[in-house]
Amino acid sequence: MRSAEITGWGKCMPPNVLSNHDLEQLVDTSDEWITTRTGIKERRISHVEASELAAVAGLRALAAAGKSPEDVDLLLVATCSGDSIIPSTASVVQKHMQAWNAAAMDLNAACSGFVYGLVVGTNMIRGGTHQTVLLVGTEKLHHLMDFTDRNTCVLFGDGAGAVVLEATDGEIGLLASDLGMDGSVGHILEVPVDGTMGDRGELNPRHCGITMEGQEVFKRAVTKMGESAARSLEKAGIALEDVALLIPHQANVRIIDATARRLGLDEGKVYVNIHSYGNTSAATIPVALTEALEEGRISAGDIVLFAAFGGGLTWGSAVYRWGARTEPLDESDAELPPPDRDTMELLRPNFDFFGLPEKLS
């Protein structure tokens, strides 16, 4: 049966770092609290827009697949912190990459965006309308981070990851998936402004940043990611012991651990890199997948399980059988322009808009 195989992968992490110790200088928090409650040690702050991160990650993924931008006939950009509403971020990414043969669209399923995109991209290829899909997860979440709110400003970061999906007749690729949404509780993780419900008269900074009922989101994340992953495995007819690696969305290491425990999966089979980047929403899984391949954690024929949960509230999981190749075919020389400001200077517009962090006021 015609399926879709991941033939290329890449990431683009902006160079500016915001460590837990930097955050200690801004808000009433500690490296110890952030590390034990979330697993995060540092995150990246981007000096460019989400589209530029996406283009570099995309070019690296295409090189790994031995493809060029003209080969792409569908560009899917999973993001919830894109450059603008119109044009879509996908439009800007197409321009940066000169992927002129690609249909292109944004996909907003928040932190579940990559898993949603994997299912959409695979099914477009299976349906026969597209041959080569570039799926990118990209975020510039620091734009939405309110550094007067210690509950949220320690959690998120910026970055992008991408995969190339190509048509194949092999018994590989997506074996089963499960996607879901519970809109009845969408408000427990939100950024209300920038949609039509935003009050144009009085822009209230409180409505422009990420707000979250952390514990409620936490409980739902553990339940839904675990249930969804179990459903996908059952649909695929794959036993838990046959899973080589779980690549979960990286929101909180305690969510990841609890999900693996609920499934009964050995912790050695779980990929975790949240300490380096924090929660980069739609980018966490493609970035983690790229690093897992670079570290030799995936072998030919392996069963890889993806699971995610995020704003909406969305969730998704996918059981994927890896193909023969785990090495890139080529390397891209695509790079971001170097930053012209340090991390604190990049955060200055946030402080001006949301208010000074308590330790600076």
Which residue, 8 or 286, is less far from ligand UT7 as judged by CB?
Answer: 286
Amino acid identity of 330? Answer: D
**For the chain, how big is the Rg over CA atoms in Å?**
19
Q: Which of 9, 114, 116, 309 binds ligand UT7 (CB under 6 A)?
A: 309
Nearest residue to 124 (alpha-carbon basis) of 162, 181, 91, 166: 166
For residues 74 to 103, the per-residue mask of contacts with ligand UT7, x marking binding by CB under 6 A and - elsewhere, is: ------------------------------
Q: Please confirm, yes or no, whether 279 is among the known catalytic residues.
A: yes
Are the beta carbons of 11 and 160 closer than 8 angstroms? Answer: yes
Which residue, 65 or 256, is less far from ligand UT7 as judged by CB?
Answer: 256
Which residue, 30 or 98, is less far from ligand UT7 as judged by CB?
Answer: 30
In whole angstroms, give the CA distance from residue 211 to residue 241.
38
Q: In angstroms, give the least distance from the CB of 344 to ligand UT7.
A: 18
Are the beta carbons of 66 and 330 closer than 8 angstroms? Answer: yes
Q: Does 279 bind ligand UT7 (CB under 6 A)?
A: yes
Q: Which of 13, 63, 107, 189 binds ligand UT7 (CB under 6 A)?
A: 189
Q: Please confirm, yes or no, whether 20 is among the known catalytic residues.
A: no
Q: 243-248 and 303-310: which strand pairing?
A: parallel
Q: What is residue 104's three-state secondary structure?
A: strand
Q: Does 150 bind ligand UT7 (CB under 6 A)?
A: yes
Dig out the tokens for 91 from the structure. 């439009």
Q: Does 310 bind ligand UT7 (CB under 6 A)?
A: yes
Question: Which residue in the list 12, 80, 111, 208 is annotated as catalytic?
Answer: 111
Which residue, 37 or 207, is less far from ligand UT7 as judged by CB?
Answer: 37
Question: Which residue in the list 20, 252, 279, 350 is annotated as catalytic?
Answer: 279
In whole angstroms, give the CA distance from residue 241 to residue 275.
27
In whole angstroms, give the CA distance from residue 9 to residue 16.
22
Q: Does 251 bind ligand UT7 (CB under 6 A)?
A: yes
Q: Does 29 bind ligand UT7 (CB under 6 A)?
A: yes
- 274's CB contacts (< 8 A; 6+ apart) are 38, 39, 40, 250, 251, 252, 253, 256, 284
Exposure string over 309-336, b if 16+ CB within 10 A, otherwise e? bbbbbbbbbbbbbbbebbebeeebebeb
Q: Does 151 bind ligand UT7 (CB under 6 A)?
A: yes
Q: Does 33 bind ligand UT7 (CB under 6 A)?
A: yes
In whole angstroms, give the CA distance from residue 141 to residue 89.
14
Which residue, 56 or 307, is less far from ligand UT7 as judged by CB?
Answer: 307
Q: 211-212 and 189-190: which strand pairing?
A: antiparallel
Q: Does 252 bind ligand UT7 (CB under 6 A)?
A: yes
For residues 213 to 242, the per-residue mask of contacts with ligand UT7, x marking binding by CB under 6 A and - elsewhere, is: -xx-xx--x---------------------
Q: Does 111 bind ligand UT7 (CB under 6 A)?
A: yes
Q: Does 186 bind ligand UT7 (CB under 6 A)?
A: no
Within residues 47-76, the interface with ligand UT7 by CB under 6 A covers none
Angle (deg, nearest 10), helices 253-263 and 31-38: 20
Q: Please confirm, yes or no, whether 111 is among the known catalytic residues.
A: yes
- Residues with a catalytic annotation lie at 111, 249, 279
Residues found near ligand UT7 in the complex (CB under 6 A): 29, 33-34, 37-38, 111, 150-151, 154, 189, 214-215, 217-218, 221, 251-252, 255, 279, 309-310
